[in-house]
Structure 1
Amino acid sequence: MSRARLSPALVVGAAISVVFVASALLSLVWTPYDVAAFDIGHRLEGPTAAHWLGRDHFGRDVASMILLGAGNALAVSLVAVLLGAGLGVPLGLLAAARRGLIDELVMRASDVAFAFPALILAILLTAVLGPGAINAVVAIGIFNVPVFARLTRGAALSLWTRDYVLAARMTGKGAARISLEHILPGLASVLIVQATLQFSLGVIAEAGLSYVGLGAQPPAASWGKMLADAQTLVSVAPLQAIFPGLAIVVTVLGLNLLGDGLRDRFDPRLDEER
């Protein structure tokens, strides 16, 4: 299969991801209804022509809550990925360039971080730092650091043996300059794919933290908080749990399909296997 041909996974994943990002950006400037306005008289009302997804237990428009939840998920996940990559990539490049003690310290620190499941580590950190969207970003971002550091270090080590890198060393370029001018550009595709996958994990982690009360706090909307509020209403109003649950599942599925599609497109070894 030619790499010039877009895979179905890439097309579907990109389409879902675009809808997710567009919904999140739209929520910054417009929502169908004001979610701060309660209407207890119409609480748990089902879907209608005016409220397509119905109302929640406070009478708020569920569609508006879903849009605002997308904005929160996008903001938390994006900043967490940028934080993880911003710290992890330089550490990985440093470990690959210097080796020795620095390499050993980076790898052992990564091993310690990987000893804890991502969501458990995030819950632990937010429990210590306190609930809130900012602390959720910090918690998720801290876990992303060793992921990007380990990936960058492994991929960079293979590039340091390439002829063009050896030629750059022979011209007198230092390790830092070679890492920035030759190694980092060669890692771009790998880092983009990993960032996409970490983004999907960030959506799950943000929803999980909000579900247990450690993420975004009211009146901010979050898909995880919507699920937590709906758990006691499943027998009365099951749609209250279905809609935010579907939002999480579809978004994570789309981001994972996008990541898989990008990996198939950027990794030449997959073409050779085919």
Structure 2
Amino acid sequence: MRADCHMHTYFSGDSEAKPEDMVLAAIDKGLEAICFTDHEDIDYFCDDIEFVFNPETYFKELEALKEKYKEKLDIRIGVEFGLQPHLAKKAKAFTAANPYDFVIGSMHVVGGKDPYYPEFFEGISDEEAYRMALRETIADIRAVADFDVLGHLDYVVRYGKHREQEYSYGRFADEIDEILRYLIEHGKGLEVNTAGLKYGLPFAHPHPDVLKRYKKLGGEIITVGADAHKPEHVGYDFNIVDNILEACGFKYYAEFIKRAPVFRKIK
């Protein structure tokens, strides 16, 4: 993998990383391109964490890094927009206001809570929680059109009480198929997010069976990101991503430039 297309810095409420440190880590690991995708989670359920940033300051700082390191690394500027059904107009206005290269749409809020917090799972089984999250994802992508790729599908599994033990494509095929078909029909891509491996799951997001199903249904737009919040996690486990994608039937992955996919041969 030549490009890490998902990373966070101190512009995100859950990271303290300096953007330049992320750049230096990418160069040190031999990457050719990166895309910053800091969080814009409007109406995030928890008031204690600020998940929005100032686009003017964001672009000013990252454009300076693009110029400084242009001979060593292709730096792109994106955003990870937190999807919620009522945010359709805000998403459109936000993404249109600045020249983002890439917009990841991600589900972080389900029923008014983030599955990251244990209280989301209180009083319900993992299966109920996972189904709720997948159904919320369906509502999100049907309501909000202004994103390029769906981020970390099956994110919720990271935090379940029994994690992957109560999760499989087969168990949630109806919900997952509805998500995948909608993405394909509307020209949206799917992200391979290696943070699942970092969190100790036996797979990157989404599960390989989901990737195989996406491919079988006609999906072709696959991006790859480590979802790094620290420099040491840039390009996390990228050495195995080509094998994952090839095993699922893919010959190409995509990077986004000016909101358009550019396809790269895996090998």
Alignment TM class, shorter chain as reference? under 0.3
The structure carrying a bigger strand percent of its residues is: 2
The structure carrying a bigger helix percent of its residues is: 1
* Structure with bigger gyration radius: 1
Q: TM-score, normalised by structure 2?
A: 0.24
Q: TM-score, normalised by structure 1?
A: 0.24
- Work out which structure has the larger RCO, using CA pairs closer than 8 Å and 6 or more positions apart in sequence: 1
